[in-house]
Structure 1
Amino acid sequence: MIKKLNYIIFSILAIIISFILGYKGEIRNINVGQSNESRLNKSSTQVNNLEKNKIVYSNIEPDDKKENKIDLKKQNLIENIDENQLKSEVERIYNQRSAAFVSGDVSSLESLFDTSQRYGKWALEHEIKRVKYLNDWSNERNITFGKIASSVRIKKVYPRGNIIKMALQESYKFDYVYNNDDNSPINSFGVGIRHTTSLIKKNDKWVIYNDWYTDCFEDALRGYSNVAESILRMIPNIHNPNNAYETLSYSRPFYDREKAVAYADKYCGAAWGSSNNFKYNKKYSDYNGIGGDCSNFASQVLGDKEGGGMPIRGSWTPGSRAWSNADGLKNYLIGSGRGSVISVGTFKDLTKPSERLPNGAVGKLQLGDLVAYEKGRGNIDHFAIITGFDSHGYPLVNSHTTDRYHVPWDLGWGDAKIRFFLIHING
């Protein structure tokens, strides 16, 4: 009886010990799995963060869960695509889209997008708005775009199943003429945009799956509409080089306007017209993706020795609020006396002729002066530098964030709430 009882006890103990050892092994395996999963998640987060530091994203990102369902055959096809071929495909799509800017025919755009899903539909709707806005803007000013061309530089490629995701820079070149001029010279300006674009193949043809980018027309698209009265009558030849702004008299001028413009042209980034291989000046931080680089660039134009040469001192130094923040720069220039406000107002306010200003307040702008763009009272959102005047004397600007080269000063800023500060640099 005792032997039998001992046998039963021993058997129970053996079962318990085996169960405990097996459970520990299972726990160990689970922990290993969790550790691997944690590492994978961490790696994925690092990659995503790297991409977001590389490119300015829209507020809405695609859901990548569906994209991660990889078809190996399609993946191999994607990986074998030559980068030059990929560049050609993107430029084909972008230039077909740009042709719609010229013709105004939006019916040709649908074939360029994957409208079977929401991101493609959103991208198509956005491009239609851009075409309509640019046509309205040009009609109001009695100008015609003759050619709009795009070239791209692909920075990164991320194959995702049957989708190719890319980080790229696009450089636009816009050519336009004034309709009422006999033998009007061709005016040109450039815009540089950073994209995160995805392509997918539909019916053996690459189309846009989604396209996220910083848009130079963004503010105007919120509520643009045709202006009833002719802006052309309101704006004659705006710029008169003999119409000098009344500045303070300095025995030693401290601001070189020609060098300021040359600097702005050289370092205007991804825009067509840039003369530094589409790159910013590496001496300075790049604030794209963390608030924008427009004020930082304006300060460089004013103060760098290669630029305007305005003495860098006091609270106005690289990286300071006065240097790199839009409100900070505006307040510094006006408060220090280095800048004077010519006028503040809407587009109509600043282009309306008066007895004192027959060409409107914009007629007082000189090369190297600044335009500050206010979105809501007390909120300066953007800065640009006057770098030229077109064949009708229309002020042209350079800027960063959405990189601009000799772009009409108000293009993309058509929202009724926008006010412009025209700032003359004293010196």
Structure 2
Amino acid sequence: MDRQIKEILESKVQQCVRNDVELSEKMKRKKASLLSRDAEIIKAKATGKIIEQVEREDYSDIYYQAHFQYLIKQHKRFYIEEEVEKRKASFYKNSLISDDEVTDNLHSQSPDLELVTDESRDMETRTPYRYDRRKAVQYAERWWNDYNPAYKKFTDDCTNYISQCLHAGGAPMRGFPNRNSGWWYNNNNWSYSWSVAHALNLYLGTSKTGLRAKEVEDPRELQLGDVICYDFEGDGRFNHNTIVTGKDAYGYPLVNAHTYNSRMRYWAYEDSSAYTPNIQYKFYTIIDDY
């Protein structure tokens, strides 16, 4: 089955670098987004790793992890975008009948919650800090497709990963042990804002001390190490977060993320399987406290 998966990926790579009528809707949106930015895929590479194989008479399902690398050219600039997908290839008598992305848990489902803060207490324990954007980005690059064993790995890991990046940049924790309060991780316990996408969005929009952020209107105002929150359905519940790790030729953010691990991905997520025309964004730039 390794050979079949390799052949599937080779076919997808060829589709990526030419205008192929068989392109998936996701890849069509990706190419349209690139075209609107005067960018194009110059070269693509893909590798696969089989996760599970399920056999039943003449049928077999192969669950595998596909790691795509795209060399993007935009004017005279080049950069590499990377993305990891979980996919399912189905065969009948060793002939491929379907190959689809597995979209379960594509983005986090936020529980109903209301963050509670005690600012008077927080001010008493205030710890001045200066956010080290370089260290935050270094951490984001080191762990974009891996998991730091010092932290719990979540099925929906996007916000946990962003929180780790922020903490690596020096953002101080506060609120322990109240899970509804502040932003913190302690041994095998953590605040909702540490691990839940909507909760981190609420926290960044309201925090007055410790880790704080300012909302801006234009994504080009963001700096490296800043955060973008995504509400894919446009229903007011934010369900994904990314961290800015680069900029394209026009100054728009390129981002890293977990859950469906990606690196240097264009911020708008128009090529995501979770994307809808109703998508809403919030752009947060991290504020120093000193």
* Bin for the TM-score computed over the shorter chain: 0.7 to 0.9
Change (3 A) 1:308 1:97: same
Which residue does the alignment assign to 1:152? 48
Change (3 A) 1:215 1:139: farther
Q: Does 2:115 align with 1:200?
A: no
Which residue does the alignment assign to 1:419? 280
Question: Displacement of 1:425 after TM fit?
Answer: 0.7
Q: Does structure 1 retain, via aligned residues, the 8 Å contact 2:256–2:264?
A: yes
Q: Does structure 2 retain, via aligned residues, the 8 Å contact 1:196–1:213?
A: yes
- Given residue 216 of structure 2, which amino acid in structure 1 is its aligned partner? I
Question: Displacement of 1:295 after TM fit?
Answer: 1.2
> How big is the alpha-carbon RMSD for the aligned residues of Structure 1 and Structure 2?
2.6
Alignment partner of 2:199 out of 317, 328, 338: 328
- Given residue 340 of structure 1, which amino acid in structure 2 is its aligned partner? K
Distance 2:26 2:34 in 1: 12
Q: Does structure 2 retain, via aligned residues, the 8 Å contact 1:156–1:166?
A: yes
Which residue does the alignment assign to 2:18? 103
Change (3 A) 1:159 1:394: same
Q: TM-score, normalised by structure 2?
A: 0.78
SS of match in other structure, 2:17: helix
Change (3 A) 1:87 1:403: same
Which residue does the alignment assign to 1:254? 130
Question: Displacement of 1:210 after TM fit?
Answer: 4.6
Which residue does the alignment assign to 2:111? none
Question: Displacement of 1:253 after TM fit?
Answer: 3.2
Distance 2:91 2:248 in 1: 37
Structure whose alpha-carbon radius of gyration is higher? 1
Question: Displacement of 1:251 after TM fit?
Answer: 10
Q: Does structure 2 retain, via aligned residues, the 8 Å contact 1:215–1:402?
A: no
Q: How many residues align?
A: 253
Which residue does the alignment assign to 1:134? 30
- Given residue 207 of structure 1, which amino acid in structure 2 is its aligned partner? L
Percent identity between matched residues is 29
Which residue does the alignment assign to 1:69? none
Alignment partner of 1:311 out of 161, 164, 172: 172
Q: Does structure 2 retain, via aligned residues, the 8 Å contact 1:386–1:397?
A: yes
Which residues of structure 1 form unaligned runs of 5+? Answer: 1-85, 110-126, 219-249, 270-278, 344-360
- Given residue 18 of structure 2, which amino acid in structure 1 is its aligned partner? S
Q: Does 2:26 align with 1:168?
A: no
Q: Does structure 2 retain, via aligned residues, the 8 Å contact 1:200–1:209?
A: no
Which residue does the alignment assign to 2:160? 296
Q: TM-score, normalised by structure 1?
A: 0.55
Q: Does structure 1 retain, via aligned residues, the 8 Å contact 2:215–2:283?
A: yes
Q: Does structure 1 retain, via aligned residues, the 8 Å contact 2:127–2:172?
A: no
SS of match in other structure, 1:380: coil
Question: Displacement of 1:317 after TM fit?
Answer: 2.2
Distance 1:261 1:297 in 2: 12
Q: Does structure 1 retain, via aligned residues, the 8 Å contact 2:85–2:101?
A: no
Q: Does structure 1 retain, via aligned residues, the 8 Å contact 2:62–2:90?
A: yes
Q: Give the structure with the larger strand fraction.
A: 2
Which residues of structure 2 form unaligned runs of 5+? Answer: 108-125, 176-180
Q: Give the structure with the larger helix fraction.
A: 1
Residue correspondence of structure 1 range 88-127 to structure 2 within 5 A: 88-106=3-21, 109=22
